Structure 1
């Protein structure tokens, strides 16, 4: 039967049964896991990193684990947690310094701003490279008070996953693809009524003289349409 744990046994709390040289292994493990977590988050894409930078997220994950284990487990020495904290902070400072002074490293790890909308149309060729769905794009735009793509001059997906929107002036707003759920869900393939219609895939607006059976978009070759809308200038 193991001996009962003695409260405030300083040797157990600080180093337990491990030799002091074990702290070198802890430092190596920390650097290794820092690299693993950083790589995983870099691959996972901007969608997973919203609000925080990828470096801050790695730091929080590492420090959270390092702080939690010695709180709950009596056989995890405090000195190991201290080494983890020191090494994690050193890795964080080093990688951010390198990133700040090397644009190539910064773009590989953090990514770079990507244009996803220009002049009211979705840039399908750019959008497809990002870990972001049309539904998520529209959700972010609705949260910013956007009703249709004709209001948007430029939309940029930032490295931290946030969406930056630049609108047309009120007099410059044009007809565009509606992104409110009820309007967007009124998709059709056959045009039975003349008017302006927006492609549901890229947002490009076409004017059709009815009837037209399953017309294809000149930008993306898709055939799903919804009536384009235009908000009146205030």
Structure 2
């Protein structure tokens, strides 16, 4: 094996086994592959990266190596990469056709919007099926100036991974689980005084007597926070 000299700047910037003129070929390869990427994205449409479906995002990942390697590897012909691009684009068009014609395929490739909060409480059966934590969920809806779940009518986790939030009017707001981080850490199973409390797990609000170990009638968890009933201010 050839000895490698650390910090050999000639080796770092210019391959010692390739002529200096190969840098010009790399520039040409890079420009050509960049055009291929632009053409592929143009075929896929104008949606932003965050709005890509899982299928579309997988295509971007698959094309990464096909676009990058021919830019600077002298032994990777551009023609090979071009075949990869053509095949991937044809697959994209084919699967798009299937998603329009066959609903199970559409559901598998694109996914479905899932309701994870309804009428101020968390739909635990839906929530637990998603790769989502309480901190992520509450962090998303706090960006809409939500203080507690009693302000929220519905929250959907869209197929794109984005969160869509719908609110009660001020007149409809009811007591709910406060979602400020500093309050969530104070959840307790000890009820110091009678009042309305929100379940830390699902957001269900119950009127509880003073005491300990009061289970939630909806999810059977027993950590509580004093329910909040402030109006939503944007």
TM range (shorter): 0.7 to 0.9
The alignment partner of 2:182 has SS state of helix
What is the 5 A alignment of 1:60-209?
60-209=60-209
Moved segments of 4+, more than 3 Å: 4-8
Deviation of 1:233 (Å): 6.5
Q: Quote the residue 2:230 is aligned against.
A: 231
The alignment partner of 2:216 has SS state of coil
Distance 1:146 1:53 in 2: 28
Contact 1:99 1:106 survives alignment (8 Å): yes
Distance 1:52 1:178 in 2: 32
Report the aligned-residue RMSD.
Answer: 2.3
Distance 1:50 1:193 in 2: 46
Contact 1:197 1:207 survives alignment (8 Å): yes
Contact 1:215 1:223 survives alignment (8 Å): yes
Contact 2:146 2:232 survives alignment (8 Å): no
Contact 2:145 2:232 survives alignment (8 Å): no
> Closer, same or farther in 2 for the Cα pair 1:55/1:233, shift >3 Å?
closer
TM-score between both structures, scaled by the size of structure 1: 0.77
Contact 1:55 1:96 survives alignment (8 Å): no
Contact 1:176 1:230 survives alignment (8 Å): yes
What is the 5 A alignment of 1:25-40?
none
TM-score between both structures, scaled by the size of structure 2: 0.77
The alignment partner of 2:191 has SS state of coil
The alignment partner of 1:170 has SS state of coil
Q: Quote the residue 1:220 is aligned against.
A: 219
The alignment partner of 1:154 has SS state of strand
Deviation of 1:51 (Å): 2.9
Distance 1:95 1:105 in 2: 8
Distance 1:104 1:85 in 2: 27
Distance 2:191 2:91 in 1: 59
> Closer, same or farther in 2 for the Cα pair 1:233/1:53, shift >3 Å?
closer
Contact 2:117 2:156 survives alignment (8 Å): yes
Contact 1:116 1:124 survives alignment (8 Å): yes
Gaps of 5+ in 2: 1-16, 30-48
